[in-house]
């Protein structure tokens, strides 16, 4: 599969860079407070290991998902089974989430124990071909094993953030409790650690987000190959983005694992609504699917959109759609073969 190696290299590089930055960060903290580096390293390894072990249980509990019993949803079971067989991967566990927004995600510690969860809103608001496109995308994540890597490296920015919050709070509390010179020095050290922690948090988070955006493109391309219908996922992404923009719920902390990010969807749709008259080509007061796609295309080319995407877990929706359209053109010309699945990324 051409260029899949580039995703693996990107995952390996991201792990190395984030781990290296974090190691330097821990060494700096230990130098400031004059403790052995080994204590911080052991603590971080334990934290990452704990997240890896209990992360799936936290996701299941926080989303209130319900695992499907065999035969409960025959169409969904058969669709996932057929695409999993084509992908030569073990069929994941299936679950539904009692949420009206159209979304889906996969999680787990290994590819053999993965769970594919779909929101009830996805099954209700998308047609079967569109749902099939989404399933192909999620199976792409399982095929690439990228969600496991994301689980591991996303723990490091979280550690930096927790250290930053904790040290700043302790420093501010100590500031009002004593004027002793030694405690003043300790407060200064805590403020320094807090500031350094925020810097490391931002740097490591940018690398994690970059990998997250890249993995979405690879999963989109895989869906096109697995389903043989890029148009199904194109249509699904448009409906998902619009549907997520209507949600009043706060974005989940695990939104990088979803096929669509509600926070990003709100931004994209809000920018389009502000220019509704420009994009309403038939002047009927409603943006249909075609008009919405054209609007996303124009907005995705703006400088602001390109800058904003650096801080996003997902690529702009139309850039994802554009990739799928390029793949669709290759299919129509008979040039899209198994060795060119990722050639357009």
Residues 119, 97: Cα–Cα separation, whole Å: 5
- Taking only the tens place, the pLDDT of each residue in 208-263 is 999 999 999 999 999 999 999 999 999 999 999 989 988 877 666 567 889 999 88
Assign 45 to helix, strand or coil: helix
Instruction: Give 150-212 as a DSSP string.
Output: HHHHTHHHHHHHHHHHHHHHHHHHHHTT---HHHHHHHHHHHHHHHHHHHHHHHHHHHHHHHH
Domain residue spans in the chain?
4-340
Candidates 77, 128, 138, 234; catalytic one: 138
Buried b (16+ CB within 10 A) or exposed e, 225-251: bbbebbbbbbbbbbbbbbbbbebeeeb
Integer CA distances (angstroms), 339 to 4, 86, 225, 343, in order: 10, 15, 10, 8
pTM for this one?
0.87
- Taking only the tens place, the pLDDT of each residue in 80-137 is 999 999 999 999 999 999 999 999 999 998 888 899 999 999 999 999 999 999 999 9
Annotated catalytic, 138?
Answer: yes
Residues 238, 155: Cα–Cα separation, whole Å: 31
């Amino acid at each position: 599969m051409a260029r899949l190696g580039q995703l693996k290299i990107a995952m390996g590089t991201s792990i190395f860079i984030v781990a290296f930055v974090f190691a330097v960060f821990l060494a700096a903290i230990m130098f400031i407070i004059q403790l052995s580096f080994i204590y911080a390293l052991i603590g971080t390894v334990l934290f990452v290991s704990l997240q890896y072990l209990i992360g799936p249980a936290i996701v299941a509990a926080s989303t209130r998902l319900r695992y499907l019993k065999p035969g409960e949803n025959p169409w969904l079971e058969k669709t996932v089974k057929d695409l999993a067989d084509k992908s030569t991967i073990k069929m994941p566990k299936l679950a539904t989430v009692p949420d009206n927004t159209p979304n889906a995600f996969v999680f787990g510690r290994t590819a053999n124990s993965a769970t594919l969860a779909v929101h009830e809103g996805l099954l209700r608001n998308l047609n079967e071909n569109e749902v099939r496109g989404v399933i192909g995308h999620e199976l792409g994540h399982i095929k690439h094993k990228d969600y496991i890597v994301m689980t591991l490296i996303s723990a490091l920015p979280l550690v930096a953030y927790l250290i930053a919050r904790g040290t700043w709070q302790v420093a501010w509390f100590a500031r009002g409790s004593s004027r002793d010179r030694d405690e003043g020095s300790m407060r200064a050290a805590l403020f320094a650690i807090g500031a350094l922690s925020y810097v490391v948090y931002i740097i490591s988070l940018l690398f994690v987000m970059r990998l997250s955006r890249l993995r979405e493109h690879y999963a989109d391309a895989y869906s096109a190959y697995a389903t043989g219908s890029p148009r199904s996922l194109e249509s699904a992404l448009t409906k998902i983005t619009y549907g997520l923009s209507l949600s009043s719920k706060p974005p989940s902390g695990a939104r990088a694992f979803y096929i669509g990010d509600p926070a990003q969807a709100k931004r994209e749709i809000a920018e389009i609504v502000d220019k509704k008259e420009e994009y309403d080509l038939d002047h009927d007061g409603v943006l249909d699917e075609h008009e919405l796609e054209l609007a996303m295309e124009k907005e995705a080319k703006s400088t602001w959109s390109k800058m904003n995407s650096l801080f996003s877990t997902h690529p702009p929706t139309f850039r994802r759609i554009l990739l799928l359209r390029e793949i669709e053109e290759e299919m129509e010309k008979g040039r899209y073969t198994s060795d060119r699945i990722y050639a357009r990324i």
